[in-house]
Amino acid sequence: MSELVVDNINLHYGAAQALRGVSLVAPMGKITCVLGRNGVGKSSLLRAITGQHPASAGEIRFAEKTMNGMAPYQRAKLGVGYVPQGREIFPLLTVKENLETGYAPLVRKDRFIPDDIFSLFPVLQSMLGRRGGDLSGGQQQQLAIGRALVMRPRLLVLDEPTEGIQPSIIKDIGRAIRYLRDSTGMAILLVEQYLDFCRELADYVYIMDRGEIVHEGAAETLDSADVRRHLTV
């Protein structure tokens, strides 16, 4: 199976431990959501998966390969696409140039922008020549997702794609994520604080609190008082 498997990982920043024995599976063709409040370790989990920060124990596998020790670009070549928190668009590059930064892990013949991206986010096509920094927050989020899609990922990880974004664009992003699951069969791992977005989209949900997974189950299980307790400050 080519799914993502995170097996009992720890992660440290110096002496501070941000993840404690975290395990999860993100299957192909499914949307897996990790929910949790600010600062519980969601971004740290994605940093461990994408290779931005090493796990200090445990194993991370994708497509039958152990990724621990691989550099971020090697993980990208394996098919791991990353939409970071805060979007990290290059403000002085145009929309087209931002999209083209996704070419790096691709062989020459694949270095083009798939039409799908413009069907999902038409605004990107109409703004190809504009600078990334001139786009609204919502448009930048669409650009960040588009850039990750340029490299044809088989695993797409998204860090709080709804953060600071207006409701109409949140809907477009939700629709795009669902389309990607259904049309490409990629595995999608989404970390979020926004419960309703997760509930609507996810096939399976994990809840994190203080560096640990404290609950897992189908999206319907999110309504219990016990689960809500982990999500309210």
Contact positions vs ligand ATP (CB under 6 A): 13, 16, 18, 36, 38-44, 85
Q: Which is nearer to ligand ATP, 18 or 145 (CB)?
A: 18
DSSP H helix total and E strand total for the chain: 9, 10
Number of C-beta neighbours around residue 39 at 10 A: 11
Q: How far is the CB of 231 from ligand ATP (least distance, A)?
A: 12
Contact (CB, 8 A) for 219 and 202? yes
Cα–Cα distance for residue pair 52/74, rounded to 1 Å? 12
Number of C-beta neighbours around residue 134 at 10 A: 12
Q: How far is the CB of 13 from ligand ATP (least distance, A)?
A: 3
Q: Which is nearer to ligand ATP, 60 or 99 (CB)?
A: 60
Q: How far is the CB of 212 from ligand ATP (least distance, A)?
A: 12
Q: Which is nearer to ligand ATP, 44 or 98 (CB)?
A: 44
| Burial label, 129 (beta-carbon count in 10 A; 0-12, 13-18, 19+) | exposed
| Burial label, 212 (beta-carbon count in 10 A; 0-12, 13-18, 19+) | middle
Q: Which is nearer to ligand ATP, 11 or 151 (CB)?
A: 11
Q: How far is the CB of 206 from ligand ATP (least distance, A)?
A: 12
Q: How far is the CB of 176 from ligand ATP (least distance, A)?
A: 22
Q: Name the helix (H) or strand (E) containing 68.
A: none
Q: Which is nearer to ligand ATP, 16 or 107 (CB)?
A: 16
Q: How far is the CB of 185 from ligand ATP (least distance, A)?
A: 27
Where are the extended beta strands (E) located within the chain? Answer: 4-13, 16-26, 31-35, 57-62, 65-66, 80-83, 155-159, 187-192, 204-209, 212-217
Q: Which is nearer to ligand ATP, 51 or 79 (CB)?
A: 51
Q: How far is the CB of 83 from ligand ATP (least distance, A)?
A: 14
Contact (CB, 8 A) for 135 and 95? yes
Q: Which is nearer to ligand ATP, 121 or 197 (CB)?
A: 197
Backbone angles phi, psi at 153, to 5 degrees: -70, 155
